[in-house]
Amino acid sequence: MPYVDLGADTLAVDFPFILEPEVSEDVTGYLWSTDSQESSIIVDQTGTYWLAVSNNYGCIDSDTIYIHDGTWIIEIPEIETFVMVYPNPVKDFINVDIQSNSLGKLIIEVFSSKGQRYFYSSREFDQQAKINLNVEDFPQGIYMLRININGIVKTVKVLVL
């Protein structure tokens, strides 16, 4: 009987990502949800991917995985600043890490897709900031995380599960 394992049901990766399954030795055929028949695929976007494998006797096994971009890296060249927001999607806590060559004011806000503000924080920062936002009580959905550093605003979509 053929065997295939794509790993955990959900995987956060940096794109592009090579998805290589664990398979039994008797596997002779591959069919991916992308229509590829190769033994591995390159994933470059968030989505659900499946793989069906077969052996010479026509027996089949399959597995499915949800792959998403686990880290958003935002560069703000005007003030030599980098921002990482992770994990995404999130169930409980989302992290916002900021590294900058600047000092200044940091405002972080989280809005629902309907415009309701769920979080607000304003503080001074000195080249580094690490914020851990609790989103456990947020209803499931898509949110906009707005980061304002010294008047320069960047927005990241966040999926709360």
Do residue 83 and residue 150 come from a single domain?
Answer: yes
Could you tell me how far CA 99 lies from the centroid of its own chain? 20
* Segment 41-64, tens digit of pLDDT: 999 887 899 999 999 999 999 999
* pTM (predicted TM-score): 0.58
Torsion of CA 95, 101, 103, 107, to 10 degrees: -30
Please give the pLDDT value at position 126: 81
* Residue 103 identity (one-letter amino acid): L
Q: What total number of domains does the chain contain?
A: 2
Q: What is the chain's mean pLDDT, rounded?
A: 90
Q: Which of 20-24, 74-78, 85-89 has the lowest mean pLDDT?
A: 74-78
Average pLDDT, stretch 10-35? Answer: 92
Do residue 18 and residue 86 come from a single domain?
Answer: no
Do residue 79 and residue 149 come from a single domain?
Answer: yes
Average pLDDT, stretch 151-156? Answer: 90
Kindly give, in sequence order, each residue whose CB lies less than 8 Å from that of residue 103, ignoring residues fewer than 6 positions away: 124, 125, 126, 127
Q: Find the domain containing 22 and state its range.
A: 4-68
Tell me which range, 9-18, 74-83, 138-147, is most confidently predicted by mean pLDDT.
138-147
- The CATH number given to whatever domain includes residue 13 is 2.60.40
- Please, are residues 99 and 127 in contact by the beta-carbon 8 Å criterion? yes
Please give the pLDDT value at position 8: 87
Do residue 43 and residue 98 come from a single domain?
Answer: no
Please give the pLDDT value at position 59: 97
